[in-house]
Structure 1
Amino acid sequence: MSDFNPEKLSVTYLPPASIFNPIDNRKYTLTHSDATGDLFLSVGCHYDLKKINAQMRDEVLGEWRREQGQYTLCGKVYVSGGEFDAKLSEVRFMIFKKELPLALAAIVNGDQGFFTYFPWLLDAPIYMFFESVFDEFNQVIYFGTPRQYLIK
């Protein structure tokens, strides 16, 4: 995994979202540049669809959900909808799995002000959904809590 470098991260808040609202359905869109290694995080009430590269589909999406009184950070990555064969889907799955800690560090540190207002969310579980037409890559994996991705 690459180390998270805060200087490589640009954060954009999409109004009406801000560092202190909303909690429910707060959405994250994380994209990157292969050429520069820069990361781009959009925080809003909706996903920043214009930032998603339809050919690459290598974005990381996340949102806060409240279920039965507990908040969970739920995310998803797109492995394959059938346009990639099983071998390429496996490669994509392995890359996402390896790079997700970096992506989660970018999301947590990029929205660090939010956690100042809602510190209990630092201990919420993170679940990532790997979306694929191939059963072996169509999984939900637990990735710990935001606290473990926070840079002090």
Structure 2
Amino acid sequence: MEKIEYDQFSVTILPPATTYHPVDGRKYTLVMSTKDSNYHLAIGFKYEMELLNEETEKILTAEWQPRLGEYILTGRIDFGSKRNGEIVWNNSHKIQGNLTEAISLMVKADKDLYAHVPWLLDAPIYIEIDSNTHKYKTIQYYGTPRQHLI
């Protein structure tokens, strides 16, 4: 297991995944702590849902998938499954502000992959924001990995 730690951000690459393998189905689990603004990213063949604990409310999952001959990075963040609409609305605005930063951290943490597979730099990133309240459900475009590496 390879582990990289930065100030308030840690990355774990879970075997048999490596910094260069796999591309198809490469999964990211980014946990954002609500108490101390720490981030933990796990990269592997499966989502690391056991990272979620009571102190951590926000989790972003993403995966590289081939679609129509090119790759896209699709992700999902869920909030509002047990909350009322007003709390969901407040959390959605907080998360929107942090989501771009979270995606940038995820992309930068995996920069060795882009050196090995450079065509992923221009692949689109789509994040689904999921909620029980229908009006807060969206799929948003978040640019490309190249834009997040700047």
TM-score, normalised with respect to structure 2: 0.89
The answer to whether the 8 A contact 1:77-1:96 is kept is no
Alignment of 1:127-142 (within 5 A): 127-142=126-141
Deviation string for 1:71-119 (max 9, x for gaps)?
Answer: 10101101222x1001001112111211111101110011111111111
Q: Which amino acid aligns with 1:21?
A: H
2:93 is matched with which residue?
A: 94
CA distance in 2, matches of 1:36, 1:57: 12
Point out which structure has higher relative CO (alpha carbons under 8 A, 6+ apart). 1
Q: How many residues align?
A: 145
* Counterpart code for 2:79: V
User: Post-superposition shift, 1:56?
Assistant: 4.7
When structure 1 is superposed on structure 2, of 24-33 and 6-15 the one drifting more is: 6-15
Question: C-alpha separation between the residues in 1 aligned to 2:10 and 2:55?
Answer: 22
Q: Write out aligned runs for 1:2-81 (5 A).
A: 7-53=7-53, 56-81=56-81
CA contact (8 A) 1:130 1:138 kept: yes
CA RMSD between the two structures: 1.6
Aligned identity (percent) is 32
Q: Distance in 2 between matches of 1:92 and 1:131?
A: 12
Distance 1:40 1:55 in 2: 13
Corresponding residue for 1:144?
Answer: 143
- Residue 3 of structure 2: aligned partner: none
Structure 1 position 112 matched with structure 2 position 98:
no
Aligned partner of 1:102: which letter? E
Partner Cα separation in structure 1 for residue 43 and residue 56 of structure 2: 21
* Mapped partners of 1:38, 1:132: distance in 2: 23
Q: 8 Å contact 1:11–1:40 — kept in the other structure?
A: yes
Normalised to the residue count of structure 1, the TM-score between the two structures is: 0.88
Does structure 2 retain, via aligned residues, the 8 Å contact 1:13–1:44?
yes
Structure 1 gaps of 5+ residues are 1-5
Measure the CA separation in 2 of the matches of 1:55 and 1:12: 20
More strand by share: 2
CA–CA separation in structure 2 for the residues paired with 1:114 and 1:36: 29
Evaluate the alpha carbon distance shift between residue 40 and residue 55 of structure 1 in structure 2; reply closer, same or farther with a 3 A threshold. Answer: closer
